[in-house]
Each structure stands twice: as C-alpha cells, then as structure tokens.
Structure 1
Amino acid sequence: MAEFFPRDAATAGPGLALFLNAGDPPPDVLEDLVLMLDEEGVECLELAVPFPDSVTDGPVVRRSARRALDRGTGLDGVLEFIARVRPRLRHLRIALLADWSHSLKHRDLAGATRDIAASGADGLLVHALPPRLRTTYHVAARDAALPVVTTCYQRSSEATMAEAAAHASAYLYLVAHYGRSGTAPAAGHAALAGTVAALRARTTSPIAVGFGVRTRDDVEAVHACGADAVIIGSAGVERIERALDEGSDPVTGFRDFVRSVRPPVQIRTGS
C-alpha cells in the first residue's frame, strides 16, 4: 500500500497534495509537469478525470475541466497516461479522482477498479458515489488492493465522519469549507484543529485538509491544526490557466508556485 505522505510533519511541515485535471495542460506538457513534481519532492498528485459542471468546484477548476474535456480527455486516456508516467516516479503518488456519473456509472465497478489499480494509480477518490453503492465500492477497492481516499466536512455528522475514518486506506480528505473549491473557511484553517483531533482518534491514515489553501501562510495554518497534509487545487490550476493564456511555460510557472507555498524545512537538532 502506498504511503502518501511519508514525511515527518513535525520537522518538515505538512505533506503536499496538488490537484490537476488530466488534459489541462495537454498530456505532453502534463507529463513534464508530473515529472517536475516528483523532482520537487511533492508527495501526491490528485489527478482528476475531467467532468463538466461540478457543483463543488469554483470557476477556475470548472474552466480547467472544460478545456480538458474539449481535448477529448476521458478515463481510458487518463489511465494510459498514468501507466506511462508512473514507472518514472520516485516519490510522487497519484490519487485518481473520478466522478461517478461521468466516468464510472456505465462501467462494471469491480472491473473499473481493477483497471485503475492496474494503471499504477496509488489511490482512488470517487466523486458523488451513490450511498447505496458504497459497500460494493469498498469491497471492489479492497479486492483490487487499491487504497481509497474518503472525504468529509468539518460539519459532517458523526456517522459520516466515522464512515470516512473507517474506510480511508489512502488518506482522509477533510474539506475545510462547505462550498466551492477555492473558498476558505471564515474562521481560518487553524479552527479545524478540533475536527482533525476527532478524526485522528478514529483513523491511523493521514488526514489532509483542502479548500481555500492558496499561500504559504495557509499551508502553515493547516499544519497548525494538526493535519498531516494540505491539498491545493484552485490556486495551482489558476497558474496553469495563466501560463496557457500568456503562452508561457506551465511547468516553470507551476514549479515556482510549488516552491512559493512550501514552508522552509526545519532542521531537527540533537542534544
């Protein structure tokens, strides 16, 4: 099983997961970008199979998905991309995000899960999975030896949090704010400390916090709440969009963004 965030958060800060839509930038550029993330020591790429009109995404991510869809990006092509790039990665883990209705509904769930695992994906997050299929999905993922990313909100019910903690075999994605991606909680990320502690008592899997994380200060606030990792989506996707609009190199721009949000590594001194 892949260890998504193998760093010592006490000395090196939280692990970093970055969200991108497959197909934005185009696959040849995306391949160079993924290899760059590996060179930079980024722990996780949340790579989404693009889908249209997501109600949980803000305008930046929705425009990205539309560009990717206009390039013909679909699940089969994304799995081929992962299979091609995965053997060249030393550190980076890839968590595939797939929407149930757009990418999985018309496939055999067990077969699709096996195909995703066979591609080399290190984990899977299914968006908008119908509750009636959760048990079937978890059995299929377990049979395919495919770690699962689960999600919950700060204000989720106790039952929802308990279920998310019980099934998070890759990591648990704590959504910081009920709304659209790119928006931050009004009280700040540090206010999630109580929720992180409650989830920590229920799972040994890493807890990653996302939504509204844009700057190094935001990353440090997530670290302060006790999370193992931070997930950045819209702010990074915006860098891709800017580079495409300006005709500049998306890989260079994204590298600069990654370096701008990572806190300096603290050196632990012995006695």
Structure 2
Amino acid sequence: MSSTPAPTAAPFFPGRRAPGATPGLALFLNAGDPPLPVLHDLVLMLDEEGVDCLELAVPFPDSVTDGPVIRRSASRALGRGGAALDDVLAFVADVRPRLTHTRIALLADWRYSLGRRDPTAATRDIAASGADALLVHALPPRLRTAYLESAAAAALPVVTTCYASSPDATRARAAQDATAYLYLVAHYGRSGTAPAAGHGALARTVAELREHTAAPIAVGFGVSTREDVEAVGASGADAAIIGSAAVAAVERAQQDGRDLPGAFREFVRSVRPA
C-alpha cells in the first residue's frame, strides 16, 4: 500500500541553496522551557529577527537521542507542568497568527504524546492549531504509512529524518516522504554531537538526497556556531538546525536571571552569518 504525501506548503526555507550560500535557520526549543508566557515573547522576537523555523517540541522524558542539555530542558518543562500536547497546541494557536516570517514545526514523541490518540484526529488537531508541519519522534515503522496518510488528509506537511550514515534506501525513503523539509542528522549519536569531518563534508549526501525530494534539506546535530552554520551552507543544504546550543542559551539566561527574549536575540545574532 503506497503512502500519499501531505501537500507541500510554501517553503520553510527560501529556495534551494548553491553550495556556500547562506542557509536558512531553524532553532529547536522545548515548549515550557522557558514557561509558555515567556516563550510567547521569545517567539515573537524570533519572527522579528527573521528566523525561518522554530522546531517546537512537546516535552517528553528520557529521550535516548538527546544529550544532557535537551534532557535537562525537557525535565524543567515537565516539572513546571502545563506543556502537554493540548497545552502546546493552544499556545501555537495563539502565537502563530502573529508571525509574519517564522514557521512552526511541531515535534511530538509517538509514545508520550501521540500513541494513545487516534492518528486522524491528532493530525487534524495539530493542523487546526496553525502548526506548519509535524515531526514525529520515534514513530514505529509499521505505522509510517497510516501516519503519512493521516497527515495528507489533514493537509499537514511532515518533516522526515534520516542519518547521513543511514542506508541508501532509508535516506531515499525519508527524502521521498518529506513534504515540509527533510531533517538530515549529521552524526549518529546524541544531540549536541558533531560529525568528525565537519558539516561541509555532507555535500555528497545532500546532493544524493536532492535526487529524491523537492522539499528543502536541513542539517542538524552539532550545529552551534556561526562557523557551523556556514559549513552547513557549504554542504549545499537549505538550512541549519541549532538545537542544543539554543537550549543551552535559554538555560544560561534563566540561571543568570536575564531578560530571556533579549538574551536569546543576542544568541540568534551570534550564530547568523553576516
């Protein structure tokens, strides 16, 4: 039974990039860290700064793919309460109409947030919130086709993932199924770790993935500095995804008692190429 991809909306990242061009920028944060009222102001700031995408996670515990920075963030969010899936969808519904540039890709864990819900209703509710795309963490392979069909029925673009080291067929399938963007994980390991050869060495993998998708390709894991973002651009990818470094910036600002949107604005400007 073949899957039916969800329709592709306007691109998350403007156009395909020539190698060396400035890539788009996506930032990862856990909903609830900072607390949702503060996060609201932070998201508006991201829009002012022209950040292309916020990967907003519904926090979940004990992620085996995340390093200590993101795991601590998820623990803080869960400890505060008020960041379950329905809370996050209400947050997205409130903030998304106020954004003129930044798109929101919702990340939800299958077991913790989605597994007990009817997939058709869940994807419909996520689309109705105004989320621009959905990335499902730890989706069981046997449920992939049903999930893609539910997303297509809800007109909800999907983010798919693959490792640079994944088998050719796995990478090709992920590329074919992507309708929002393809998240190319640069390094097999936990978030925050970088590939030994650098992100620019992914150029061949990016070029091969281009043969299987019209969706943008975004590279993440170990992207934490302006130089890393430039290296992602050198690979020919459309965007760089910054996760652990962004979450660490939130953590430092909260520990220091700083104005979070202002402190995070400094971080955004520090990683964006001139």
Q: Give the TM-score taking structure 1 as reference length.
A: 0.95
SS of 1:111's partner is: helix
Aligned to 1:64: 73
Task: State the shift of 1:8 in Å.
Answer: 6.8
Q: Does 1:179 align with 2:172?
A: no
Indicate conservation of the 8 Å contact 1:148/1:170, yes or no: yes
Letter in 1 for 2:74: A
1:175-214 matches, cutoff 5 A? 175-214=185-224
Indicate conservation of the 8 Å contact 2:25/2:241, yes or no: yes
Letter in 2 for 1:37: L
SS of 1:126's partner is: strand
Task: State the shift of 1:201 in Å.
Answer: 1.2
Aligned to 2:23: 14
Aligned to 1:85: 95
Mapped partners of 2:10, 2:120: distance in 1: 20
Indicate conservation of the 8 Å contact 2:21/2:233, yes or no: no
Mapped partners of 1:174, 1:136: distance in 2: 23
Mapped partners of 1:130, 1:154: distance in 2: 20
Task: State the shift of 1:2 in Å.
Answer: 3.4
Indicate conservation of the 8 Å contact 1:206/1:228, yes or no: yes
SS of 1:142's partner is: helix
Indicate conservation of the 8 Å contact 2:21/2:234, yes or no: no
CA RMSD of aligned residues (A): 1.1
**Larger RCO: Structure 1 or Structure 2 (Cα < 8 Å, ≥ 6 residues apart)?**
2
Q: Give the TM-score taking structure 2 as reference length.
A: 0.94
Q: Does 1:27 align with 2:36?
A: yes
Unmatched 5+ stretches in structure 2: 1-8
Indicate conservation of the 8 Å contact 1:2/1:122, yes or no: no
**Greater Cα offset, 159-168 or 123-132:** 159-168
Call closer, same or farther: CA 1:7–1:42 in 2, change over 3 Å. Answer: farther
Aligned to 1:158: 168
Indicate conservation of the 8 Å contact 2:164/2:185, yes or no: yes
SS of 1:221's partner is: helix
Mapped partners of 1:186, 1:20: distance in 2: 25
Aligned length: 264
Letter in 2 for 1:87: P
Aligned to 2:3: none
1:1-271 matches, cutoff 5 A? 1-6=9-14, 9-10=17-18, 13-72=22-81, 73-264=83-274
Task: State the shift of 1:9 in Å.
Answer: 3.9
Identity of aligned residues (%): 73
**CA deviation map 1:55-87 (0-9, x unaligned):** 000000000000011111100000000000011
SS of 2:29's partner is: strand
Unmatched 5+ stretches in structure 1: 265-271
Indicate conservation of the 8 Å contact 2:96/2:130, yes or no: yes
Aligned to 2:4: none
**CA deviation map 1:178-227 (0-9, x unaligned):** 00000000111111111001001111110000000011000010100110
Task: State the shift of 1:159 in Å.
Answer: 1.5
Mapped partners of 1:262, 1:250: distance in 2: 18
Letter in 1 for 2:68: P
Mapped partners of 2:236, 2:16: distance in 1: 12
Mapped partners of 2:74, 2:268: distance in 1: 21
